[in-house]
Amino acid sequence: MRTLGQMSVEQKKVMGPALNSLKNELAALVETRKTVLEGAALNAALASETLDMSLPVRADTGTLHPVMQVMEEMAVIFADQGFAVAEGPDIEDDFHNFTALNFPPGHPARDMHDTFFLKPDENGDKMVLRTHTSPVQIRTMMSQKPPIRIIIPGRTYRCDSDQTHTPMFHQVEGLVIDKATHMGHLKGCLMDFMSAFFETDVDVRFRPHHFPFTEPSAEMDVRYERVGDEIRIGQGDKWMEILGCGMVHPNVLKNCGLDPDEYQGFAFGMGVDRLAMLKYGMPDLRDMFAGDGRWLSHYGFSPLLQANLATGLS
Ligand code: PHE
């Protein structure tokens, strides 16, 4: 190419295009070869840079979040009572979150739940961030035949924020459907759960309440006492509300295609974050989701110690 300058005009006319096409040909060959060599290098790296999954985990990095820990503990206790785990989507439609659960159209509870609505679709229908885990009751009853015995752990959302409320929080729902399930089963199941969870004798009481999807409905309180900054469960003369529960409403059974003359059952729903605060003594719910490494290393749990009933939950 450098000699082109000294050539005559006629020579340039011939040699210019010839040299150019030679240059392009060489560039293409270099490019092809480069691709081949890069591919070979990648294959060699993939073959040699293996990850040994059998290496022991470094136990000094990372902790299990208290919410995860408490969910594991609950799953272990309920598994012992014969419950399986079911899950559902965080983004729900109006039918599963409200209508099928016997919330009449325009019922104030739809707003009382401080619902987060998504943008309406072309028909004007709005999906919601589920306000409770109860829609998974519907999904389960519509897809499985009784007997049903499930817990439903998961995230729930309400537009609310203060010391004891966060816009995202966690619930564990329970659902039992069978032919002769009654309120006594509900009470026994929850009383046993509370004593196992708090690892001490827990005194509970049931108060009449209202939920559209259960009849009769109740709230359950646990006895507690405040000693200085500390909350002690199982003693004292104060009562703390801890969960909602009741017998599944016949309309809900019907909405799921079950015959209320054949089947009946109970359901309950409890706040996981609240139970974690009570058991492990965290003062402010909002800290749970601030992602502060100091908080996490203080309140977190070893990822290697699995909760189990034989050696203790935590
Ligand atoms: N879904 C209710 C709530 O979030 C709790 C509940 C569940 C009550 C199941 C009764 C039965 O407030």
Query: Which region among 53-67, 135-149, 215-229, 287-301 has the lowest average model confidence (pLDDT)?
Result: 53-67
DSSP string, the chain: -GGGGGS-HHHHHHHHHHHHHHHHHHHHHHHHHHHHHHHHHHHHHHHH----TTSPP-TTS--B-HHHHHHHHHHHHHHHTTPEE----SEE-HHHHTGGGT--TT-THHHHTTPPBPPP-TTS---EE-SSSTHHHHHHHHHSPSPEEEEEEEEEE-S--BTTB-SEEEEEEEEEEESS--HHHHHHHHHHHHHHHHTS---EEEEEEEETTEEEEEEEEEEEEEETTEEEETSSSEEEEEEEEEEEPHHHHHHTT--TTT-EEEEEEEEHHHHHHHHHT-S-GGGGGS--HHHHHHH-B-TTS--BTTTB--
Dihedral angle computed from the Cα positions of residues 182, 188, 193 and 194, in that order, rounded to the nearest 10 degrees: 120
| Probe target for ligand 1 pocket from 101, 213, 242, with the most ligand atoms within 8 Å of CB | 213
Average pLDDT over residues 114-142: 94
Atom of ligand 1 nearest to the CA of 171: 4
pLDDT-derived band of residue 112, with 50, 70 and 90 as boundaries?
A: low
Show the ligand 1 pocket: residues with CB < 6 angstroms: 132, 134, 173, 211, 214, 244-246, 267-269
> What is the pLDDT, as a whole number, of residue 212?
94
More confident residue, 78 or 314: 78
pLDDT in tens, 152-197: 999 999 998 887 788 999 999 999 999 999 999 999 999 999 999 9
The residue ranking higher by pLDDT, 57 or 245, is: 245
Mean of the per-residue pLDDT values of the chain: 92
Nearest ligand 1 atom to alpha carbon 244: 8
Ligand 1 centroid from CA 269, angstroms: 4
Task: Give pLDDT, residue 163.
Answer: 76
What is the domain partition of the chain in residue ranges? 4-48, 66-299
| Assigned token pair, 128 | 């919601």
- Residue 314: which pLDDT band, with cuts at 50, 70 and 90? confident
User: For residue 188, what pLDDT is reported?
Assistant: 96
CATH 3.40.50.720 fits 66-299, yes or no: no
Q: Which of 210, 211, 219 to mutate to test the pocket of ligand 1 (most atoms within 8 A of CB)?
A: 211
Q: Is pLDDT above 80 for 275?
A: yes
Mean per-residue pLDDT, 284-299:
89
Nearest CA to ligand 1 atom 4: 132
How high is the pLDDT of residue 219? 97
